[in-house]
Amino acid sequence: MSNEIAGIIIPDSRLALDAQDILKEYGSELLWNHSNRVYLFGAIQGKKVNKAYDEELLYVSALFHDMGLTKKFSSNDLRFEVDGANAARQFLSTYNIGEASMQLVWDAIALHTTLGIAEHKENEVALLYAGVGLDVMGDGYHDLSDAEREAIVQAFPRNQFKQDILPAFFEGFKHKPETTFGNIKSDVCARYIPNYKPKNFCDCVLHSPWKE
């Protein structure tokens, strides 16, 4: 794997390589390519607007951001984003990483599907969110040149990503669809679960135990 793609260096520290090994072992080719594209897309967007960021922390965040979809790290009752964030924190705790850095990675992963908030937080959080948005939904697609996009996709192919990522999402949380309440992933449940009726915020208010 080339260490520089589209002008972006892929970290090759022991921490980064160990994180790669975990994703390769417990993830899939789909998640491997997606996670590396997310890092590159996020990093290149940061470079274009002169946002400073920690390359290693952003890369680990990208590699772990969907780890909560895997059987190894999926819980029975937490959002998959939180499962991935917890897995990353546990991984980082075995290295000489400060608490503030671990919290930054945790936030980046936990908030990567949270519209309207992640982009206003620290640069690593915002750039992970931006990288996910570009790869999954095409947000900021035209901010990159054709050559930049092609270099990244050549290194980490999409391989019918649009068709494969939605069922991959669903596979990761189909045993706990209630955890998608209030989140865009509820749309995935609605697509794959017949007659799916998501929890409704208005019902939560009106059916609360308060007497009035």
Specify whether the CB–CB gap between 173 and 180 falls below 8 A: yes
Q: What is the pLDDT of residue 54?
A: 97
Alpha carbon 153 to chain centroid distance?
18
- pLDDT tens-digit map of 13-49: 999 999 999 999 999 999 999 999 999 999 999 999 9
- pLDDT tens-digit map of 117-151: 999 999 999 999 999 999 999 999 999 999 999 99
pTM of the model: 0.96
Q: What is the pLDDT of residue 194?
A: 96
Q: What is the pLDDT of residue 42?
A: 98
CA-CA distance, 127 to 111, in Å (whole number)? 11
- Region 146-160: what's the mean pLDDT? 97
CA-CA distance, 134 to 44, in Å (whole number)? 11
- Cα atoms in the 13 Å half-sphere on the side-chain side of 108: 34
Alpha carbon 21 to chain centroid distance?
17
pLDDT band at 2, cuts 50/70/90? low
- Cα atoms in the 13 Å half-sphere on the side-chain side of 57: 24
Q: What is the pLDDT of residue 212?
A: 81
- pLDDT tens-digit map of 57-99: 999 999 999 999 999 999 999 999 999 999 999 999 999 999 9
Q: What is the pLDDT of residue 9?
A: 96
Query: Residue 1: is its pLDDT beyond 60?
Result: no
